[in-house]
Each structure stands twice: as C-alpha cells, then as structure tokens.
Amino acid sequence: MAKAKKDKGGWNWRTKVFWTEGWGSLGLAVLIALFIRWAFIEAYVIPSGSMLPSLLIHDHIFVNKLTYGLRVPFSENWMAKFSEPKRGEVIVFKYPRDMSTFFIKRVVGEPGDKIFYENGTLYINDKPQEKKVPVSDADFKWLRDADFQRDNNIYDGKDNYTHFTEALGDKGHSILLRKGDVYETYGPYIVPEDHLFVMGDNRNNSSDSRVWGPVPKKNILGRAMFIWLSCEETIPALPFLCNPLTIRWGRFFKPVE
C-alpha cells in the first residue's frame, strides 16, 4: 500500500497544506485576530456627540485593551493588572446599566475624589479645574450644525457653544459649554472605591456619571488611542460604513487627548 511521503522536516504533506493553504490557515488567522482583539487592540465607532469636540460623530478609533491589564476571556475579572486609569484619560467601558452597551467618556474623578460641578466649572477636591481660551481652534473648526441637531433638536447649532481648554492632570483637552445656559449644579460627590467618575467633553449634552453614577473599574475595556478613520456621513443602506465622499482626511491618526 502506498504511503504519503513526508518532507525533510517530517511533516505529512497533507497536514502541511492544511495549515499553510487550507482551512487550517484560515482558522489560525481568525484565532490570531480574536486574540489581538481580546488582549491588545480593538476598533470602535463614536455614535454620538457627547465627546465633542474631542471626538466627532463617526470617528473610528483604536482602543488599547492591554494598557490597564489582561482579563479572563468573556469576563470582567482581571488576570493581571498593569496600571490604573488616570484623571484626564479617555476610556471605553461597559455601561453600568446595560453591560451589552459600550460608552466612551473622560475620567475626571478617581477613587476618593470629591466631585462638584457648578456654572460650567468642574471642581475636584474643592479645586476648580482651570478653563482657558484654546491656543488653537482646530477642534472647534471640525464641528457642524448637524452635529448638534440630532434627537429632534433642530434649533441647536455650533454658534450656540463656546470652546475651552480644560486642564486635568498634566494635559489639557477641549470641552464645549452652551452659551447662556443656566448650568446645573451637581454634588458634592465622593467617588467610591474601585470606581471612576466620568464625564463627556460636551458638558451640556452628555449622559454620564452625573446622571447614572460612577463606573466600576471592572467595566473598563481600555483607553482610547487614536483615530484611524473619520467621516461626516455613513452610507444610508450600510450605516456601519463611511461614505467615501465625506471622509475627514485630516483626522486620520489624530491621537485622542
């Protein structure tokens, strides 16, 4: 009876073809992609204007999932922790009221911090966070009236907002405040252990910890890294795809700050 020949490395040639050219190679590629997505990096799309002007609607971002640690697959439990989220970082996390929904916000309060918000000013541990006139209006220039006219809010628009740079930690970031609004007062509130207090940069149009409470650290998925694709509109029949005629080329590889 004829036997399959082996190559010099001792591999059966059918086995070798299976893993290099057949279904085995496809399965291996899928496993590698899933491993990278689980442990290292994952792509997300910004669906709303709560982080304007730092992140625009239809910005596509990469999220670093390894920066804070490594999780048990399909679990909120940590296998290993490398660092803790810091004030000022933009994180993606599972929404505490619906773990199947993902949110993106900025960390403004760490465990033990005292949070107070009044007249558009954020206070952390009784210290007001300084708001400055931005050195650059590059973030603000990307905004359109259409970004504010979602959810039947047809009378809102870009001119109704003021752009500031707010300092949290060592770096500044853009925020928006609505002109002439009577700003809500929130707090004081002490962030509990193993939780974070998060807010959107579009302060008057963000559902965040002021509404639904702090984020458990176990819900964190990773830290936003950079924008790899951005467009003003998607294809109507395929809303998960960018309309190539509306691509914002200038936002490619912009870091999330």
Query: Where do the domains of the chain lie?
Result: 9-39, 40-251
Q: How confident is the model at residue 39 (pLDDT cuts 50, 70, 90)?
A: low
pLDDT of res. 256: 95
Summarize pLDDT for 195-227 with one digit per residue, the tens.
999 999 999 999 999 999 999 999 999 999 999
Least confident stretch, 27-36, 139-148, 157-166, 247-256:
27-36
Mean pLDDT of the chain: 86
CATH of span 40-251 = 2.10.109.10
Please check the confidence at residue 191 and state whether its pLDDT lies above 60: yes
Pick the catalytic residue from 50, 54, 174, 209.
Answer: 50
Angle CA(24)–CA(26)–CA(28) in degrees, nearest 5? 70
User: 114, 108, 158, 116: which is closest to 137 by C-alpha?
Assistant: 158
Q: Which amino acid is at 167?
A: A
Does a cis peptide bond (omega within 30 degrees of 0) precede residue 255?
Answer: no
Task: Please report which confidence band the pLDDT of residue 75 belongs to, taking 50, 70 and 90 as the band edges.
Answer: confident
The rounded distance, in Å, linking the Cα atoms of 183 and 118 is 7
Residue 92 in this model has a pLDDT that exceeds 60: yes
Question: What pLDDT does residue 23 have?
Answer: 53
Q: How confident is the model at residue 73 (pLDDT cuts 50, 70, 90)?
A: confident
* Selected catalytic residue, list 65, 105, 158, 254: 105
Task: Please give the pLDDT value at position 142.
Answer: 96
Task: Give the residue with greater pLDDT, 27 vs 152.
Answer: 152
Q: Is 3 a catalytic residue?
A: no
Condensed to tens digits (0 to 9), the pLDDT of residues 170-183 reads 778 999 999 987 67
Q: What is the distance between the alpha carbons of residues 49 and 93, in angstroms, rounded to a whole number?
A: 17
Residue 201: its pLDDT value, please?
97
Closest C-alpha among 101, 91, 97 to residue 200: 91
Residue 124 has pLDDT above 70, yes or no: yes
pLDDT at 1: 44
Structure tokens at 63: 């999220």
Mean predicted confidence (pLDDT) in 224-248 = 92
pLDDT of 192 over the 90 cut: yes
State yes or no: is 83 an active-site residue. no
Q: 217 with 142: CB under 8 angstroms?
A: no
Single-letter code of the amino acid located at 71: R
Give the pLDDT of residue 171. Answer: 79
